[in-house]
Structure formats: C-alpha cells, structure tokens
Amino acid sequence: MDTLEDGMSTALAHRVRLERDARGWSLAELASKSGVAKATISKIERGETSPTAVILVRLANAFGLTLAGLLLRAEGHDDASRLIREAQQAVWRDPDSAYLRRQIFARPDHPVEIVQIDMPPGQRVVLPASSYANIRQAIWVQAGPLSVLEGGEQHLLESGDCLGFGPPSEVTIANNGMDTCRYLVVLSRS
C-alpha cells in the first residue's frame, strides 16, 4: 500500500506549482479559477500546509483534472498500468475529516475511476458543484449508513444501496452513524 499521508504533501505542493506554471497562471489567477484563497495556495505550494479534500478538488477542477488525476500526477503515475494491484493503490487521508481514500482504479486514458472511501463516524465533507462539472458519479455503500445531501435532496443510504448523482450541485456526504462507513465512488469523465 502506498500511503500518501506523509510524503504526499511535498509531492502535491510540487505538482500544484508545476500545473500552475505550465498554464502560465499567477497565484491570483489560480485562486480566481479555483475559489481557493491565494494565501492557501501559496502555503500549499511551499509545503506549509496539507490541503484538504475540498481544496484539492477545487484545485484539480481548475486544472481540468479530477482529484484522482491530480494525485496520480503528484505521484508521477501518468502512465499507469491497466492492472493496479492492491499494494499499488494509493491511499490518502483527508486532514480535515480524517476520511481515508483509496484510489482503486484510475488511468489518464480511461474514462472510469473507482475510489474507496472510509468515512469515520460523525464526519462529513462538503464538495462544491464545480467538483461535478465534467464527471458523472455513483456512490455504492459497502458498510454502514451514509447521508448524501445533493442539491437540496437528502438521501439516506444503507449497506448495498447505490446512488447515481444528478446534475452538478453542492454535495454533502456525511456519516451520522456510530461506525466507519465504507463506500465506493465510481465516476466517468464526460
């Protein structure tokens, strides 16, 4: 297993700077395109702070990438194999919610990504509508209850339930249960 909790911050800092420089964007331009404060981006690029999932999603979207795409580039896996063994599946922990994200499958030349999330009890993540602008997504709950608030519509999911997301809107994913909730996210780029 490739745990991204420690060494990934440095790689992400470098990758965000590379992506910004490749586009010729100033900090202010990236801040404007992503909705992330210029000071926060600067701290990320200098490795002074570890970005949360929400911030990474916003930055990735500004670059025209998914979160998985940004993480793969940070790891240097632009030419990933079609076979991804469990030991090769990148794992990252969100510093804000402490959820654990395992990248089960992602390739730059394939439209489908599969991610496994372990959401601790009492935790939530709020993702902006821009996160879903160029993707279609479904969540399949493997264990525990999960609450999904999507565009004002509340969905209460139990183990085995699957929810396909509608048009892009702000989404709150929460584990209001007493145990860790495990779910799979399957998405395709449009």
| DSSP letter for each residue of 58-74 | HHHHHTT--HHHHHHHH
The verdict on 137 and 169 lying in the same domain is yes
Inform me whether the pLDDT recorded for 76 exceeds 70: no
The verdict on 156 and 92 lying in the same domain is yes
Among 21, 52, 75, the domain-final residue is 75
Report CA Rg, the chain: 16
Per DSSP, the three-state class of 40 is helix
Sign of the Cα pseudo-torsion (166, 61, 123, 7, in order): positive
pTM of the model: 0.73
Which structural domain range is residue 55 located in?
2-75
The verdict on 91 and 65 lying in the same domain is no
> Is residue 68 in a domain?
yes
Q: Could you give the C-alpha distances from 188 to 15, 32, 55, 94, 113, in angstroms and in order?
A: 23, 26, 21, 22, 6
Among 41, 75, 109, the domain-final residue is 75
Q: Between residues 89 and 123, which one has the greater pLDDT?
A: 123
> Is residue 156 in a domain?
yes
Among 56, 75, 94, the domain-final residue is 75
Query: For residue 169, what are the contacts with CB-CB under 8 A and spacing of at least 6?
Result: 129, 132, 150, 151, 152
> Is residue 50 in a domain?
yes
> Is residue 81 in a domain?
no
Residue with tokens 């440095």: 10
What is the predicted pLDDT for the residue at 124? 95
What is the band of 5 on the pLDDT scale with cuts at 50, 70, 90? Answer: very low
> Is residue 91 in a domain?
yes
Q: Around 126, how many Cα atoms within 13 Å sit in the side-chain half-sphere?
A: 3
40-60, pLDDT tens digit by residue? 999 999 988 888 888 988 898
The verdict on 126 and 178 lying in the same domain is yes
Q: Which is it for strands 135-143 and 162-164: parallel, antiparallel or unpaired?
A: antiparallel
Which segment, 7-11, 67-71, 176-180, is predicted with the most confidence on average?
A: 176-180
The verdict on 34 and 113 lying in the same domain is no
The verdict on 120 and 27 lying in the same domain is no
130-173, pLDDT tens digit by residue? 777 778 899 999 999 999 999 899 999 999 999 999 888 999 99
The verdict on 46 and 106 lying in the same domain is no
CATH of the domain at 171: 2.60.120.10
Q: Please give the share of the chain, as a percent, with pLDDT higher than 70.
A: 92
Give the chain's end-to-end CA distance (angstroms, integer).
30
The verdict on 98 and 175 lying in the same domain is yes
Q: Between residues 71 and 38, which one has the greater pLDDT?
A: 38
What is the predicted pLDDT for the residue at 7? 64
Inform me whether the pLDDT recorded for 78 exceeds 70: no
